[in-house]
């Protein structure tokens, strides 16, 4: 499914009491004051009934948001740590194929190599999506030389604002090599769009707290399939902190082997309640609506769009710097109004701008940003 197929909802009012969005960068994003405040509650012992109840509640809500019946591991570490966990647990003596179409899919490759795995890197043009046919071809070629334990792909390349059809990719992998695991980074898309993990057959779907979930940085989450857990049991060198087998044992008691980030877990609990109060589907629709509005604003103003057509991200839009704006100066002007957007990433620095519309961002926030950009650039 491409995102143009998603129904968008009509423009709605910003919720009463929500402060104006400040950060239009693709993470960290603004955190609601009630969620920030939740972190100031006194500490409790992490082996207490109170903590285990908090953990169990968050686990259930996360499973709903990942659309999975299996499990979600929660780590006191950022998304890159979950990359490492996924690779250490899911890649054994076989190889891993990393599809690289931007900076964060390159991270999958760097982590695979860093963990000492035999990694095959497939480079694809930035600003384009990874397509099922490209995956099928690379996988078939690699299989001629032996088993492939896993493939990695980024659902939403934050560096370019491109989404890849990971459900179709997983189906392509299954049809060629049913035992190959599909490891997906959904760091900057999770909770901003529907990712039905079980239906799509994703073995790992990982994310960070500081993007569309609109939490402070410091937590990461991964939906892990039974197949991935079974594979982990056969893989040596899983380490300790990231060992799925150990995490599973503690998950059964609604806790983690190491001391959890209790304050962040409290914030998570409040934020999950807020997400379900808005409604998960309404939240996804809001993100798609904001993405559509950002794209149409850019086009109306004569600016180009960088993402391959049909694969534009629902959470971050990459706009060509068609008129050669000084992005640092633009951000200096925006800072005066307590707003910030992002420069292009890597080679696109100065050539593109990225506007994130995720988490707590609403229609009125975007219009305020657009008004300020128009005032500074005279477009
Ligand atoms: C798509 C994607 N993957 C991975 C990461 C790394 O996440 P973290 O900084 O939480 O380790 C980022 C960070 O921006 C990202 O956007």
Structure tokens that stand for 255 in this block: 């806790």
Locate 239 and state its tokens.
Answer: 């380490």
Q: Is the CB of 215 under 6 A from ligand 1?
A: no
Q: Is the CB of 78 under 6 A from ligand 1?
A: yes
Cβ proximity of 219 and 74 under 8 Å = yes
Q: Boundaries of CATH 3.90.1150.10 in the chain?
A: 3-32+280-377
The pLDDT of residue 14 is 87
- Give the Å distance between the CA of 86 and the centre of ligand 1: 14
pTM here?
0.96
H or E, element range at 97: strand 95-100
Could you name the CATH architecture of 3-32+280-377?
A: Alpha-Beta Complex (3.90)
Ligand 1 pocket, residue 134 CB under 6 Å = no
| pLDDT of the residue at 8 | 57
Distance CA 220, CA 73 (A): 8
Q: Rounded to the nearest 5°, which phi and psi values hold at 160? A: -125, -15
Two tokens at 70?
A: 């299996």
pLDDT at 11: 59
d(CA 289, CA 322): 24
- 68 to each of 21, 54, 75, 181, how far by Cα in Å? 31, 19, 18, 16
Contact 206, 82 (CB under 8 A): yes
Which DSSP category does 252 fall into? T
Phi and psi at 343, nearest 5°, equal: -70, 170
- Say if ligand 1 is within 6 A of residue 162 CB: no
Question: Residues spanned by CATH 3.40.640.10 within the chain?
Answer: 33-275
Candidates 192, 204, 208: which one to mutate for ligand 1, based on the most atoms within 8 Å of Cβ? Answer: 208
178 in Cβ contact with 141 (< 8 Å): no
Residues of the chain with pLDDT under 50: 1-6
- For ligand 1, atom 8: residue with the closest CA: 79
- Is any ligand 1 atom within 6 A of the Cβ of residue 285? no
The CATH topology of domain 33-275 is: 3.40.640
Phi, psi (deg, nearest 5) at residue 257: -60, -45
> Separation of 301 CA from ligand 1 center, angstroms?
30
Using the mean position of ligand 1's atoms as its centre, give its distance from the Cα of residue 16 in Å: 31
- How far is residue 314's CA from residue 3's CA, in Å, rounded to a whole number? 7
Q: Is 177 in the pocket of ligand 1 (CB under 6 A)?
A: no
């Amino acid at each position: 499914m491409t995102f143009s197929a998603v129904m968008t909802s009509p423009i709605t009012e910003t919720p009463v009491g929500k402060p104006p969005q400040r950060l239009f960068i693709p993470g960290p994003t603004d955190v609601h004051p009630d969620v920030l405040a939740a972190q100031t509650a006194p500490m409790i012992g992490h082996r207490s009934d109170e903590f285990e109840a908090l953990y169990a509640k968050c686990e259930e809500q996360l499973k709903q948001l990942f659309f999975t019946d299996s499990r979600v591991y929660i780590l006191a570490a950022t998304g890159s740590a979950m990359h490492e966990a996924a690779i250490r647990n899911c890649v054994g003596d076989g190889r891993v194929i990393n599809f690289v179409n931007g900076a964060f899919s390159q991270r999958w490759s760097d982590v695979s190599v860093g963990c000492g795995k035999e990694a095959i890197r497939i480079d694809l043009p930035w600003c384009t999506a990874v397509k099922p046919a490209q995956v099928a071809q690379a996988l078939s070629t690699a299989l001629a030389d032996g088993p492939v334990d896993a493939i990695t792909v980024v659902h939403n390349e934050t560096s370019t604002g491109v989404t890849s059809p990971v459900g179709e990719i997983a189906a392509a992998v299954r049809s060629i090599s049913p035992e190959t695991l599909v490891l997906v980074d959904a760091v900057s898309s999770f909770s901003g769009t529907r990712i039905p993990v079980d239906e799509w057959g994703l073995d790992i779907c990982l994310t960070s707290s500081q993007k569309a979930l609109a939490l402070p940085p410091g937590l990461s989450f991964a939906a892990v399939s039974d197949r991935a857990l079974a594979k982990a049991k056969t893989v040596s060198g899983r380490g300790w902190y990231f060992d799925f087998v150990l995490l599973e044992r503690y998950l059964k008691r609604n806790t983690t082997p190491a001391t959890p980030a209790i304050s962040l877990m409290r914030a998570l609990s409040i934020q999950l309640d807020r997400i379900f109060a808005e409604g998960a589907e309404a939240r996804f629709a809001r993100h798609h609506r904001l993405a559509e509005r950002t794209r149409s604003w850019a086009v109306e103003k004569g600016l180009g769009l960088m993402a391959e057509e049909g694969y534009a991200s629902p959470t971050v839009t990459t706009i060509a710097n068609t008129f050669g704006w000084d992005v640092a100066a633009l951000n200096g002007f925006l800072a005066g109004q307590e707003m910030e957007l992002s420069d292009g990433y890597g080679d696109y620095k100065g050539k593109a701008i990225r506007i994130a519309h995720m988490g707590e961002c609403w229609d009125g926030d975007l219009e305020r940003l657009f008004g300020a950009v128009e005032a500074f650039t005279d477009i």
